[in-house]
Chains A and B, each alone.
Chain A
Amino acid sequence: DADVTQTPRNRITKTGKRIMLECSQTKGHDRMYWYRQDPGLGLQLIYYSFDVKDINKGEISDGYSVSRQAQAKFSLSLESAIPNQTALYFCATSVGGEQFFGPGTRLTVL
């Protein structure tokens, strides 16, 4: 079984809808991240959490919110989706400097 899982893997939604992307991990890592990937722009950090009680904004947090429900779960929400949030979203965990990525969620906002 995969160590970092993301649901859903693909989602198509409409402008203005609320969307939640979920991430679960079985690696036992305290640190978790949400990234956004756009073609040619690499991986941009949205939010990160060093433990259940510690959540921090990344470089592109506007329009997003997160919830760390447990050590193993870290959810990303788009309160009111807009078309320029169409992208590939990755969750990751880390320990000792290495990051472990989930398979990604492809989100399309029409």
Chain B
Amino acid sequence: GENVEQHPSTLSVQEGDSAVIKCTYSDSASNYFPWYKQELGKGPQLIIDIRSNVGEKKDQRIAVTLNKTAKHFSLHITETQPEDSAVYFCAVPVIGGSQGNLIFGKGTKLSVKP
């Protein structure tokens, strides 16, 4: 079945620096790659996603890049701010069977120091 690995598990940056989180997946049929942000005391929330027909997608200070050949995708946050501090999860869809379900990475705790 599908497997997703997320790195690093923790990331500390200075305010204004960039942060990059990477996920690798195993099933080459995967075609949808979302990133979720979980703030303290809340449930995860979708912040950006990409589909397999594009290589990069941007939304203000966040971007996701996809390398289908290498089977990895990354979240990029530029000009980090303290409110970016949270746990970030990547996910990939289950292929076949229970389509529509997601398999989540183990999360990256991002700390942005003022």
| Chain A residues at the B interface, C-beta cutoff of 8 Å | 4, 31, 33, 40-43, 45, 48, 50, 56, 90, 92, 94, 97-99, 101-104
Do B34 and A97 touch across chains, with their CB atoms under 8 A apart? yes
| Chain B residues at the A interface, C-beta cutoff of 8 Å | 6, 9, 32, 34, 36, 41-46, 49, 89, 93, 98, 100-102, 104-107
Q: Looking across the interface, which residue of chain B has its beta carbon closest to that of A101? A: B43
Cross-chain pair count, CB within 8 angstroms:
48
Shortest beta-carbon distance, B20 to chain A, in Å? Answer: 19
**A97-B49, A101-B43 provided; 8 other pairs, C-beta below 8 A?**
A4-B43, A40-B106, A40-B107, A42-B6, A43-B89, A99-B44, A103-B41, A103-B42
User: With the chains together, A94 CA to B101 CA distance in Å?
Assistant: 9
Main secondary structure of the interface of B (DSSP, over half): strand
Shortest beta-carbon distance, A39 to chain B, in Å? Answer: 9
User: With the chains together, A41 CA to B44 CA distance in Å?
Assistant: 14
User: With the chains together, A18 CA to B106 CA distance in Å?
Assistant: 29
Do A97 and B93 touch across chains, with their CB atoms under 8 A apart? yes
